Amino acid sequence: MATAYNRLKRKTSRWQNLPVPGQENPEDDPVDTTRYSLLLFLRDLEAGEGRLKEFVEGLEDAPGVLDEKSTMAAVLAAALQLKSMDHDYVDSKGRTSAKRRRIDLYGNDAAADQIAEYNELVNLARTVWSDPNDLRDILGELYGLNLRKLTEGGRYSIPDIFEWARAWAEVRYRFLNHSLRDDPNLWVNFNAGPYLTKGNAANAAVHESNVVLDSQMVEFKNVRGTGYTDRDRDIFNQLYILTPEEGRKLLQYSGTSTGLRPGLPAVFDYIIDFINGFINWRVRVLESARRQILADQAYKNARQPNAKNAVRARLNQPIIQNLRSIDGTYTNDFIPTVRKLLKEAEEHNAFLANTYNIFTNICNRFIPAVRNHAMNTYTNDLRYNTQFQRSLATFPGPRTLKRPTGTAMILAPRRT
C-alpha cells in the first residue's frame, strides 16, 4: 500500500488498543474507575458569525468551571482548542440537488486525532472492498474467526486468504482442464502446450503433498461447513506425524529471512522436500495397491459391503507388512529427530553435532529403503511404469543435504 497509515500506528490509537473480539482479558486491561473519557459529537449545527465564540463564552460563565478537576473545566479547555480540522458529510435534507452536503468540522486536538484515525481506517477498508453491501454474513464470520493470531504468534493476513482463494480457483481449473483431456474432439489441445502445463500444476496442488501449506490450512475454523473441525485438523497429524504448529515452524525456518545462522535454513528446506517426497511416494504406491485390490476377482465376487470390506482387509495384510519397516523409520526415527533439530534451532540457533549426525544417518538408511522398496513393484501398474521407476532415482527430491559449518554447528548446548 502506498499510503502510510501513521494514525493507526500510534500507540494510543484504537486500532492498537481495541481488544480482538473474543480475546478480551480483564487481567490485561484492568478497569480504572477513577477516570473516564467523554466524547460528544454534534452534527449539522446552524453556522453564523460568532456562534462558536458564544459557545465558548457560555462555558466560561458556567458554574463549576473554576474547579480545574471538574468535567466543565475540561470541556472549556477543549473548547478553547477548537479549530477547523476536517469536513463532515451530511444528508442534504432537500436543501440541494446533491445527495449530501460538505460542512466544516471543528474540534480540539484529541478529536482531530480520532477523526484522522477514522479516515485512515475507512481508506484502508476501501483497499479491501469498494462496497460494504457486497459482503455477506458468512464472510464476516470467517474473517472474525480466521484473521487471528496463531498458537505460535503468527497471524493470517488478508493477502494470505486471497492467495488461497486464488488457489481454490486453480483447483476448479483442474476439473475443467482434466475433463477436456478425455474429450474425443479436444484432447489433442489439452494434452500439450500451455493447457497441459497449467493443468499439471493444478493437478499437483490437489494430489501432491505440501506439509507447510497444509499446516496453515488446517487452522481455518469451521463456519457453516466450510473450514476444519478439531477432527479434521487431526488428519494433518495422522498423515505427516507432525502437529500443524511443527509444520508452520518448518515454514518459518525454511527459505530466506529466517533469522537463523547460514546453513540451517537449507537443512529445513531439505526436510520439507523429504517429507513431501516420502508422503507422495507412499500415496502413489498405496493408490496403485488399492486399484489392484478393487480389480481382484474375490473383491468383485463379494456382493455385500461387509463381504467386500473383509476381502479388502485380507488383501491389505501383505501391504501392511511391507510398509511396517519404512513407516517405523519415518515415525520413530526421522520425525523425532526433525523435532530435535527444530528445538535446537529455536533454542541455540545451531544444531548439536550429534543430533545432526543421527539425522544424516537416518536419511542415508531411509533413501535406499524407499528406492528399493518392495512396494515399488508390488503391482503391475508400477512394475511396468517407466516414469515411476525412473523417479525413484531422484527421491526425495532435487536438493542435497549440506552440513552446516562454523557457529551453526555446536558440540554442546550453549549456556543461556
* pLDDT tens, residue by residue, 287-327: 999 999 999 999 999 999 999 999 999 999 999 999 999 99
Local structure of residue 132 (DSSP, 8 states): G
Going by C-beta distance under 8 Å and a sequence separation of 6 or more, which residues neighbour residue 20? 148, 149
Q: In percent, how much of the chain has pLDDT > 90?
A: 40
Local structure of residue 49 (DSSP, 8 states): T
CA 343, chain centre distance (Å): 22
CA–CA gap between residue 211 and residue 195 (Å, rounded) = 27
SS3 content of the chain, % helix, strand, coil (to 5): 60, 5, 35
For residue 237, give the C-alpha cell. 497429524
Local structure of residue 19 (DSSP, 8 states): P
pLDDT score for 3 = 44
Are the C-beta atoms of 386 and 392 separated by less than 8 Å?
no
Are the C-beta atoms of 218 and 230 separated by less than 8 Å?
no
For residue 309, give the C-alpha cell. 470390506
CA–CA gap between residue 71 and residue 62 (Å, rounded) = 11
Strand partners, 223: 226
How many secondary structure helices (H) and strands (E) does the chain include?
19, 4
Look up cell 461447513; give the residue.
225
Q: Radius of gyration of the chain from Cα atoms?
A: 32
pLDDT at 189 over 70: yes
256-273: burial string, b at 16+ Cβ within 10 Å, e else? eeeebbebbbbbbbbbbb
Helix ranges, 61-184 (H)? 71-79, 109-126, 137-146, 158-181
Are the C-beta atoms of 106 and 85 separated by less than 8 Å?
yes
Look up cell 478497569; give the residue.
31
With a threshold of 0.85, does the pTM exceed it? no
CA–CA gap between residue 256 and residue 268 (Å, rounded) = 11
Run of H or E residues at 342: helix 335-348
Mean pLDDT of the chain: 84
CA–CA gap between residue 267 and residue 254 (Å, rounded) = 8
pLDDT score for 195 = 87
Among residues 72, 85, 75, 83, the alpha carbon closest in space to that of 114 is found at 85
The stretch 394-416 carries a mean pLDDT of 89
Among residues 153, 336, 352, the alpha carbon closest in space to that of 248 is found at 153
pLDDT at 136 over 50: no
pLDDT score for 96 = 64
Which of the pair, 220 or 35, is modelled with greater confidence?
35
